[in-house]
Chain A
Amino acid sequence: MSALQEIVDVTPVEATPKKYIALGGYASVAVLVLLIAAPLFAKNFIIFQMTMWLIYAIAVLALNILTGGSGQFSLGQSAFYAVGAYTSAILMEHFNVNYALTLPIAGVICFAFGYVFGQPALRLSGVYLALATFALATAMPQLLKLGYFEHWTGGVQGLVVTKPDAPFGLPMSQDMWLYYFTLVISIMIYVFSVNLLKSRSGRAMMAIRDNEIAASAMGVDVALYKTLAFGISAGITGVAGGLGAIAVQFVAPDSYTIQLAIALFLGMVVGGVGWLPGSLAGSAFIVFVPNIAESVSKGLSGAVFGAILIVIIFVLPHGARQIAYLSQHWINKLIHK
């Protein structure tokens, strides 16, 4: 492989062997048990934080499908997240649609949006694609503020969303209900994504990621799979956005700035590009590290955040999946001794 080619195929994501996309059986069960049991012992506030953690994990996972799966880089995920959030909020507040029903609608709308955006993006790669998606992220808050849509979006003031109660008179707080609701959706999306990447389509995407020219020579419809990856990623991000709007009970243009897109990107890198379970670790980084940083120093919270990030990428340049690989390696060693 020549160096020139390395430059051309920007976003050189390392090839992820198929079996490393997801966690093993035992590990999955352990994580699932933890996720189900944890809220029973936590305060409502912690449950809310965990809900946000899951929601951002879904969004990071979506980016992971796009970048880790098909090798396309995006700094515009906040735009899809915003469209999903506003779709849910508008449907709930203006049309009294049930919150659960708004999510698939948000997903479908964002899928369409992502698929359409993926068309011109086909011609771009690397820094050019980064700029295009970045443009989308900066344009979105300005579009949401536009006077023409103000009746629906609430303009700069945003929209307040009503938080759902637990159904069927279940004896649980709104927060706990929303957590389990989010958890079920997260599991569905996770299972779907793992199967997607293991399927024919997923293999086609990864072939494009690893070598676009070779993939097309082998008969993969590069354009179709690249735009499809954009659509699916946007659709999942939209569902996360809708959930986020319901959990936070508020949508406003200021919630979905480029900062969000950057946070999701960092989440993906910290979790490990191309390793879906890493999304949980990456999302934990997004939610909790800023809190750690500010508890160290208010004036320098940005610097502390940066320093923590640098330490993480120094120790784990491949993100959390490095830990998973290493531990798997050691466990295998122990077993085969």
Chain B
Amino acid sequence: MELLTNQILAGIATGAIYACMALAVVMIYQAIDHLNFAQGEMAMFSTFIAWQLMQWGVPYWWAFLATLALSFAGGVIIERALFKPLANAPILTHVAGFIALFAIINSVAGLTWDFTIKQFPTPFGSSPFLGSQLISTHQAGMIGVTLVLLLLLYFFFQFTRVGLAMRAAATLPESARLVGINTSWMVALGWGMAAAIGSIAGMLIAPVVFLEPNMMGGVLIYGFAAAVLGGLTSPFGAVVGGFLVGIFENLAGTYIPGVGNELKLPIALALIITVLVVKPNGLFGRAIVKRV
């Protein structure tokens, strides 16, 4: 029994990592209507920028804010320079563009900062949280930040003009243009916000997994899985999905005899697919009615 609660707590702790990344995935999905395979690498690069600033002596919170701003700008620039010119190309060509971006960012980071792992500071400390050694104050802080981000995103998409306009631009571009929304800039704004959220995710994840150019490879897979499970259109679903994936993966690894530990990721993914077969839009996603 103790093992069960421990694994659930540990699952929540790792689930916070996935939830954080899943939020960034949902953000970009809301803006461009598909997944960005380079998102993890963008977050990794942002985290390296923060690390570099701190190496130069910038205090944590200033480095944090500067990274946020730089990442936002970087996201907008990438959209303007790379993906706007491809606006009329097929979606699969965009996906190839994401893969190209992935390769470029990973390789440049490797050359600039090499592959040795780096310690990344945490503003929350890493002592046990409320006496539980399984969740550190950093992980608790991470869950807190994730929830705050979730609230902000929820209000942004539900109640602000820009947020509503962005959703309109992503789901019904033509109609959005007709009511005077600059859809092209909405996409760029979405890229910027997704990059900024990604940078927060990166800076929160790095203290746990250590900073290096390949740190987001695994995280992104789980982030996608979490976002898809929760429903790609729902920030709330993404966070729930993140925790569910974290917990389920741990339980599968611990309790499924024989192959559980060796195959815990495949088992977790298989479960997600089973959920999708029953609920094709994820647990909390909006069902889209098809029109012919």
Q: How far is the CB of A289 from chain B (nearest CB, A)?
A: 11
| Given A139-B263, A310-B97, 11 other A-B residues pairs in contact with their CB atoms under 8 A | A2-B174, A7-B288, A13-B92, A73-B92, A138-B265, A142-B262, A145-B262, A300-B111, A303-B104, A306-B99, A306-B102
- What is the CA–CA distance of A142 and B265 in the complex, to the nearest angstrom? 9
Which of A44-52, A103-111, A123-131, A163-171 lies at the interface with chain B? A123-131
What residue of chain A has the Cβ atom nearest to residue B265's Cβ?
Answer: A138
Q: Are A273 and B107 CB-contacts (below 8 A) given A135-B269, A145-B262, A310-B82?
A: no
Q: How long is the Cα–Cα vector from A325 to B291 in the complex, in angstroms? A: 32
Q: How far is the CB of B127 from chain A (nearest CB, A)?
A: 35
Asked if A135 and B273 sit within 8 Å, CB to CB, the answer is yes
Determine the residue in chain B with the shortest Cβ distance to A139.
Answer: B266
- A270 at the binding interface (Cβ < 8 Å): yes
Q: Is the CB of B86 within 8 A of A313?
A: yes
B97 CB contacts on chain A under 8 angstroms: 309-310, 313
| CB-defined contacts of A123 to chain B, threshold 8 Å | 276-277, 280
CB distance from B24 to the nearest CB of A (A): 15
Q: Shortest beta-carbon distance, A100 to chain B, in Å? A: 33
**Contact B99–A262 (Cβ < 8 Å):** yes
Across the interface, B92 reaches (CB within 8 A) one of A4, A5, A132, A269, namely A269
Q: Footprint of B on A, CB under 8 Å?
A: 2-5, 7-8, 10-14, 67, 73, 120, 123-124, 126-128, 130-132, 134-135, 138-139, 142-143, 145-148, 211, 213-214, 262, 265-266, 268-270, 273, 299-307, 309-310, 313-314, 317-319
- Complexed CA–CA distance, A313 and B97 (Å): 7
Taking a contact as CB atoms under 8 Å apart, the answer to whether A4 and B172 are in contact is yes
Residue of A with least CB distance to B81: A310
Q: B85, A314: Cβ atoms under 8 Å?
A: yes
| Contact pattern, B 194-225, Cβ under 8 Å of A = 1, otherwise 0 | 00000000000000000000000000010011
A contact residues around B70 at 8 Å (CB):
none
Chain B residues 74-130 with CB under 8 Å of chain A are: 82, 85-86, 88-93, 95-97, 99-104, 106-108, 110-111
Bound-state CA distance A300–B95 (Å) is 21
10 contacts between A and B (CB under 8 A): A2-B174, A7-B33, A128-B280, A132-B273, A146-B262, A266-B99, A301-B107, A306-B103, A313-B96, A317-B90
B173 neighbours in A (Cβ, 8 Å): 3
The complex places the Cα of A7 from the Cα of B173 at a distance, in Å, of 11
Q: Which residues of B contact A (CB under 8 A)?
A: 29, 33-35, 82, 85-86, 88-93, 95-97, 99-104, 106-108, 110-111, 171-175, 221, 224-225, 228, 232, 259, 262-263, 265-266, 269-270, 272-274, 276-277, 280, 288, 290-292
Q: Which residues of B contact A303 (CB under 8 A)?
A: 103-104, 107-108, 111
Residues of B within 8 A of A132 (CB): 269, 273, 276
Q: How many CB-defined contacts (below 8 Å) exist between A and B?
A: 165
Alpha-carbon distance between A310 and B106 when the two chains are bound, in angstroms: 15
Q: Which residue of B lies closest to A123 (CB)?
A: B277
Query: A314 with B86: in contact, given A127-B228, A128-B228, A138-B269 (CB under 8 Å)?
Result: yes
Contacts of A307 in B (CB 8 A): 100, 104
Most chain-A Cβ atoms within 10 A of its Cβ — which of B90, B101, B106, B110?
B90
Q: A307-B100, A309-B103, A313-B89 are in contact. Are A4 and B262 (CB under 8 A)?
A: no
B86 cross-chain contacts in A, Cβ below 8 A? 313-314, 317
> Closest A-chain residue to B173, C-beta based?
A3
Instruction: Check if B291 sits within 8 Å of A302, measured CB to CB.
Output: no
Q: Are B171 and A142 closer than 8 Å at their CB atoms?
A: no
* Complex: A306 Cα to B107 Cα, angstroms: 9
Of all chain A residues, which has the CB nearest B29?
A: A127
Chain A residues with Cβ under 8 A from B272's Cβ?
131, 135
- The verdict on A135 contacting B266 (CB below 8 Å), with A3-B174, A5-B291, A120-B273 known, is yes
For B107, B171, B221, B269, which residue has the most chain A Cβ atoms within 10 angstroms? B107
Q: Within the assembled complex, what's the spacing in Å between the Cα atoms of A134 and B37?
A: 12
Question: Which single residue of chain A is at the shortest CB-CB distance from B281?
Answer: A128
Tell me if A318 and B221 are in contact (CB < 8 A). Answer: no
In angstroms, how far is the closest chain A Cβ from the Cβ of B287? 11
Min C-beta distance of B184 to chain A, whole Å: 15
Task: List 10 tightest A-B contacts by C-beta distance, closest first.
Answer: A302-B107, A139-B266, A135-B269, A317-B89, A306-B104, A306-B103, A309-B100, A303-B107, A306-B100, A269-B96
